[in-house]
Amino acid sequence: MHAFVLRLCVLLEEGRSRTASAVDRAIDALIERPCDPHDLKHHCRLHGVSREHVARVFAQRFGTPPATWLTQRRLERVRALLLGTTTPVAEIARGRGR
């Protein structure tokens, strides 16, 4: 049953990626991997959309600008690494504690 549900989720996501707008794909890329070094500008360029438009849609959906949202997710990740691992602070700061 678990495998069936997992496969269903994968199929739904694949279908969404084919039908989603470029703005939705840019936003999805940001929220799927918020700790990646890529920023909003990179994803907008990659998907061929305006940074201003994506930022506006993102803020409408999440109630906060993308930069604020990304900073919060990254800080949560750092906090989790500091509290839950023995990774040295210097390594976490370099982004190697993933």
Chain segment 14-72, per-residue pLDDT in tens: 555 556 899 999 999 999 988 888 788 899 999 999 999 999 999 999 999 999 999 99
Rg of the chain's alpha carbons, rounded to an integer? Answer: 16
Question: Residue 27: what pLDDT?
Answer: 93
Task: Using alpha carbons, list the distances in angstroms from residue 86 to 30, 81, 83, 89.
Answer: 28, 8, 8, 9
Tokens of 59: 């803020």
- Tokens 């750092």 map to which residue? 78
Report H helices in 34-87. 40-47, 51-62, 66-84
Under 8 Å CB-to-CB from 51, ≥6 apart: which residues? 40, 41, 44
- Regarding pTM above 0.85, the answer is no
Question: Residue 11: what pLDDT?
Answer: 56
Q: Give me the domains of the chain, ranges plus CATH numbers.
A: 22-93 (1.10.10.60)
Residues 34, 57, 37: CA angle, nearest 5 degrees: 20
Chain segment 64-93, per-residue pLDDT in tens: 999 999 999 999 999 999 999 998 988 888
